[in-house]
Structure 1
């Protein structure tokens, strides 16, 4: 099989969460452990950092990878889902895994995969771990797929864990309270392995403290150590000025990721760097500054408040839950524009009423749907949105929707595209 045939084969053979939702989620680690055992337990052959949370874990993972690259380390990065190509999920120093490596992995392990029938994600985790081990990375950043405790990535013993923030997402799997969700996320805290929590949150704080205490793990809340003094956007970069509370010093960072919400992620990243230094990693101030300012260039990250056009300003973002949309609307306030256009699509297995209640009624809406089975029907979305006094038209394909908006919008308007990772992934010019 060639590369495309191999990917198609896996999609057809194995349950895929981003297409099928909950029924593709395996609520235990048996398959992953079996895969790792079959592969010779590659997860124990490289150092790692485990990154979980609801929002921000992808951006934080990319920041850490970029900084470690700038510090001179051969750095693996495993994230999900991908936006354009499956190979985006597995990178070393920003370069995606070669397609021939994917083909070879499936060919070598085909009979085992057929017999075990793991999920697509479980199969992918095995591939990532084997690739990082074979390439002898100095360290790999491993992003949790879903939850933490039962996530397939949770078979590693990392140098440290980072948990970004906790909010409502995948409540049908993780629970419908912050405490329940936090318990699942806290599952990545390992015995005597330090953990950084990016944001201190009332309902989650004690869950993390208790889990860390029971594991004799040093815990640190980054939001207690760093304060955001100033945020601005200039010439395509965000400017962040943080105050390090203990030293009463300022940290100036320029970032290619310009959403204001990145300030919370960066607090966790800065604290994580301090932890890594205690674990023997040499990371100086210049590596941090260059890693943050070049994060997109170094890692190939897409879809985080990404500018696609300037006049009118067109921005897409993969934020897809209530907390993510709140942060995006906060960032939007930093921009001056005449009319806001919102091209939105969602998945069908989430309650989006909270998101719709937030959206500005003065915006012009275009409702679309991603080309995945989980996508909410665009006409149904239009009808639901109308209950919140959000009026707009239906154009199912996101690229058709964008072209239509561009034919109507004025140069000083603002166009936002989002609601679902899969809507963003469908943009041709991403």
Structure 2
């Protein structure tokens, strides 16, 4: 019997966790039919949960957070399901709702609450009992951690009677456990090369997996993607008779002002327009992510709520997104973990820290394009470090992909010490490559 959070956590972690390994056959191991049987066994009426569903290579986490923040600002109770997490896997299941009124403002402060330890234990015990006499057909394979935790999120959101749940896909989209939903709005963020040995070597193949979340006659909102990816999204939306809204064509961001600590822009969609939207996340790519979210929220709520957002969006500052950890020495942490997001990181470094000599601390997962990522950053010194996760390269393994003489250390503490030794006025220490690396780094602060 599970009676507390510690026992629940141990039980959940006993299921196979594909986030901690890259050694599996994606199409054989990830099965949506298994998820449907699991939800049926748990008696979860998932069709009743109204959702916004988000897939993509880059920006889906930020877009999901912008969506939940926007929904809460409009007066709705919003569930937010994202992955992976930094410190506590309860971070994956959050409810955002209108909170206290801000003085002299029509806007309410948004209240954000992780699922409680008690609720995790209670729901997990319910699942455990229902799995005791449950046997999956052998051809459907084993239940994964992500699948059972997705079920937990759905059950919790339904119990809490959220008005909308914002769901971020875990891997791909077509076969992802979250794709059990029939969303009210589907969102496709920027598509790039990532998880290529699972999703395909060609951008069109990756796009096909991501666009697998598109449902019949459900509106689709898309980033301004590369042509080969955009054509796939357009084709699949057409086949589903789903109206397609594309950033830069159907809704736009203009008058973008990139400040040292925030970004301001004007948003327009048809006759709707709001000026001077302020967000705390830095970079042009976050303007696009926010615009995707604003359009998704508008379609979901079918009301003009944009004027309520100015304060709410400025309050949103997820950890690890181009986050300045220190000024002396200057240290920036970013969860960039693929070639596309490293391009955005490079652009941000050029914009916010021009002419700084970059000392890069780097570690990443085994399924990443190490050379492609490192080529994006014009570092002066490279420090390779290990990450405490079996899915990630060791620092010694990373050396095989790098020419020259990088510093090699398995310990992020030592890596930071080496970076500080090399630091001079005019330098910047950048830590990036993996969310797992970001989590280990944040624990030192």
Same-fold call, TM cutoff 0.5: yes
Query: Quick check: 1:88 aligned with 2:91?
Result: yes
Residues 15-414 of structure 1: pairs in structure 2 closer than 5 A: 15-23=16-24, 25=26, 26-93=29-96, 94-113=112-131, 115-116=135-136, 117-224=142-249, 225-234=251-260, 236-237=261-262, 239-242=263-266, 244=268, 246=270, 251-278=275-302, 282-296=303-317, 301-334=318-351, 335-336=353-354, 338-360=356-378, 362-386=379-403, 389=404, 391-410=405-424, 412-414=426-428
Contact 1:231–1:260, Cα closer than 8 Å, also in 2: no
Report the CA distance shift for 1:396/1:228 in structure 2 as closer, same or farther (over 3 A): farther
State the alpha-carbon separation in 2 of the partners of residues 42 and 398 from structure 1.
44
Q: Which runs of 5+ in 2 are unaligned?
A: 97-111, 137-141
Return the match for 2:433 from 419, 424, 429.
Answer: 419
Could you report, residue by residue, the CA deviation over 1:88-113 in whole angstroms, capped at 9, with x for unpaired residues? 00011121111121122222221444
Contact 1:15–1:24, Cα closer than 8 Å, also in 2: no
State the alpha-carbon separation in 2 of the partners of residues 417 and 16 from structure 1.
26
What is the TM-score of this pair, normalised by structure 1? 0.90
Q: How many residues align?
A: 416
State the alpha-carbon separation in 2 of the partners of residues 189 and 129 from structure 1.
19
Contact 2:267–2:273, Cα closer than 8 Å, also in 1: yes
Contact 2:68–2:166, Cα closer than 8 Å, also in 1: yes
Report the CA distance shift for 1:199/1:291 in structure 2 as closer, same or farther (over 3 A): farther
State the alpha-carbon separation in 2 of the partners of residues 76 and 16 from structure 1.
23
Greater Cα offset, 212-221 or 222-231: 222-231
Indicate the SS of the match to 1:142: strand
Q: CA deviation at 1:217?
A: 1.1
Contact 2:342–2:373, Cα closer than 8 Å, also in 1: yes
Contact 1:227–1:245, Cα closer than 8 Å, also in 2: no
Report the CA distance shift for 1:166/1:392 in structure 2 as closer, same or farther (over 3 A): same
Indicate the SS of the match to 1:173: helix
Report the CA distance shift for 1:24/1:90 in structure 2 as closer, same or farther (over 3 A): farther
Q: CA deviation at 1:168?
A: 0.6
Report the CA distance shift for 1:246/1:135 in structure 2 as closer, same or farther (over 3 A): closer
State the alpha-carbon separation in 2 of the partners of residues 63 and 264 from structure 1.
11
Could you report, residue by residue, the CA deviation over 1:305-355 in whole angstroms, capped at 9, with x for unpaired residues? 122112222111111111110110000011146431111001123332212
Report the CA distance shift for 1:233/1:312 in structure 2 as closer, same or farther (over 3 A): farther
State the alpha-carbon separation in 1 of the partners of residues 314 and 45 from structure 2.
32
Could you report, residue by residue, the CA deviation over 1:275-313 in whole angstroms, capped at 9, with x for unpaired residues? 2243xxx452333222321113xxxx3221122112222
State the alpha-carbon separation in 1 of the partners of residues 176 and 421 from structure 2.
44
Contact 1:345–1:370, Cα closer than 8 Å, also in 2: yes
Greater Cα offset, 74-83 or 219-228: 219-228
Q: Which runs of 5+ in 1 are unaligned?
A: none
Q: CA deviation at 1:178?
A: 1.1
Indicate the SS of the match to 1:330: helix
State the alpha-carbon separation in 1 of the partners of residues 130 and 389 from structure 2.
28
State the alpha-carbon separation in 1 of the partners of residues 125 and 194 from structure 2.
36
State the alpha-carbon separation in 1 of the partners of residues 316 and 304 from structure 2.
16
Q: CA deviation at 1:170?
A: 0.8
Report the CA distance shift for 1:248/1:38 in structure 2 as closer, same or farther (over 3 A): closer
Indicate the SS of the match to 1:140: strand
Report the CA distance shift for 1:24/1:141 in structure 2 as closer, same or farther (over 3 A): farther
Q: CA deviation at 1:30?
A: 1.9
Q: CA deviation at 1:429?
A: 4.1
Report the CA distance shift for 1:259/1:161 in structure 2 as closer, same or farther (over 3 A): same
